[in-house]
Amino acid sequence: MRTLLVVIEPPGNTYFYYASLYPSVTGSDYNAIAINACQVQPGSPATLSCGQPIVAAASTECQNGFCSFLDKEFVTIDAGHGRLYISYTEFGITFGSQIELASCDLGNAFGGPGPLGGTPAVPVCENGSAASSVTPPPPYLIVEPADLINFCELEGAYPATTTGGDLYVANEFNWGDGCAQAHLEQVAYTPQACLTLPASSCGPAAMTEIPVISTDLTIIPGYNRGVGNDFPRIAVSDMKGTVSIVWNDTRSNPMADILLQSLQLVSLAPVQVAPVKLNNDTGIGTLHFLPAVRNTDANGLLNVSWYDRRRNPTSGDTDVYAALMVDPTTTSTPKSNVRVTSVQSDWLSVGSIIIPNFGDYTDNFIDISGSLQGMFVAWSDGRYNIPQPFAAHQGVK
C-alpha cells in the first residue's frame, strides 16, 4: 500500500486517498491498482470513513491465463484541476517493463462533479471502469516506454505536480542490474494540457536522465532483500522554479550517500553542475538509504529524510535522519542533519517473514496549513523486534 498524505478540501470537508495493489478484478484475470477515498469530518472527536476500492488501472496484456503485473503505485494530486494521478510500473508479457500513469477525476474545488462525474468522495478513474471488459484497457498515459532493445527494468516511479497541474515523474532505469546498461534516474515532464485530454500524439514533452552509481549490488547488513535499490523521490518547488530528485548513490561512499539534483521546470535543464550530498556526516562505509521527499514548505524549500547508520556504522542499528529547509538550488551540503527517530532499530535482530523487512521506500509530507505545521515522516521501524509502521512529526523552522 502506498498512502497519499496530500488532501483535497472542499468547504467543510477533508479527503485523503490511498492506493494499493488490487490482485484481481471481478470477472477477469487482470491485475489492478485501486484507490480508496477517505473523508475526515470535523467534530469532537473527528470521524473517518473510507469508501470501497475504485479500480484506477489494470493489466493491458493477458495470455494463456496470465496477465501483466502492476507495481509500485504512488500518487499525487492536482487540486486545482481536481485530478489524482498514479504512476506505476507495468511488467508486460511481451514488452518487459514500462512506466505508466492512471488518472482519476476528483470533482471541482467545491465538491461538485468534475468532467467525468467524479467527486472527492467518489472519484472516477479514466481507464479503471474498462477493467471488467473483455479487452484489456490501455494505460491512460505511457510515461516511459519499455526498453525493447536491452530489456532494462524500469521501476520505482514517483510523481509530483506543479500548482498549474504540470506533471513530473521520476523512475529508476536498470533496477536490479539486470542489463548491460548504465544505471539512471529518468525524469519526464508532461504539461497539464496533455493530461486533461490525452490523445495518441500526447505524452511527455521533455525527458532527461541522471547518472547513478547504484546500490543494486550493495549488500546491506540486516536488510533481508540483500541488496539495495535506487528508487528516486521527486518534489516540485514552484517558488524556485525547480523539480528536484533525491536518491541513494555510492559514488563517494560504498554504503551510499543521499544526493540531490534539481532541474529547471519544463526544460529539465540541470540547476547544479553536479549532484549535492545531503547527509552531512563523512564516514566511509556508513549506510544512508531510501530517501523521501514529496513537497516543499511555505518557502519553497525541501525537507528530505532517509535511513541512516551514522551512530553505529558497523552494526545494523538504523535511525531516520533528515536534512531540513534545503534550498533546491543549493550547491553545498547542509551544515546539519536532524535525527528523527528516538530509538534505533537493530535490523540484524529483527525477525520478519516480510521481504523487504524495512521496506523498499520511505515517505514524508510537509504540512503548511494545519495546526501541526511541519514534516510528517513514515518508515518501517524494528524497535519491537518485528517490523512496524512508524510515523513522526518534525518541526522544520
Given CA atoms 293, 296, 297, 301 in this order, what sign does their dihedral have?
Answer: positive
Residue 370, pLDDT score: 64
Residue 201, pLDDT score: 64
CA 41 to chain centroid: 27
Residue 198, pLDDT score: 58
At which residue does the C-alpha cell 523486534 appear?
385
My answer on whether omega of the bond before 211 falls inside 30° of 0, hence cis, is no
Residue 200, pLDDT score: 55
State how far the Cα of 210 lies from the Cα of 193, in Å rounded to an integer: 26
Q: 78 is written with which cell numbers?
A: 492536482
Q: What is the DSSP letter of 192?
A: H
Residue 309, pLDDT score: 98
**Helix or strand run (H / E) with residue 35:** strand 32-41
State how far the Cα of 97 lies from the Cα of 330, in Å rounded to an integer: 34
Residue 395, pLDDT score: 79
User: Which amino acid is present at 272?
Assistant: Q
State how far the Cα of 72 lies from the Cα of 156, in Å rounded to an integer: 6
Per-residue pLDDT of the chain (397 residues; tens, 9 = 90+): 555 545 566 666 788 898 999 876 656 678 889 999 998 887 788 788 999 999 899 898 888 878 899 999 999 999 889 999 999 999 999 989 999 999 999 988 667 788 888 888 899 988 755 555 556 678 889 999 999 899 999 999 999 999 999 999 999 999 988 898 999 999 999 999 888 765 556 789 999 999 999 999 999 999 999 999 999 999 999 999 999 999 999 999 999 999 999 999 999 999 999 999 999 999 899 999 999 999 999 999 999 999 999 999 999 999 999 999 999 999 999 999 999 999 999 999 998 888 999 989 999 999 877 666 789 999 999 999 999 999 999 877 6
Q: 342 is written with which cell numbers?
A: 528516538
Distances (CA, A) of 155 to 4, 255, 380: 19, 21, 20
Could you tell me the residue ranges of all domains in the chain? 1-198, 212-397
Residue 42, pLDDT score: 77
Residue 134, pLDDT score: 58
Cβ distance 103 to 87 under 8 Å? no
Residue 174, pLDDT score: 95
- Work out the burial of residue 249: count CB atoms within 10 Å of its CB; fewer than 13 is exposed, 13-18 middle, 19 or more buried: buried
State how far the Cα of 318 lies from the Cα of 308, in Å rounded to an integer: 6
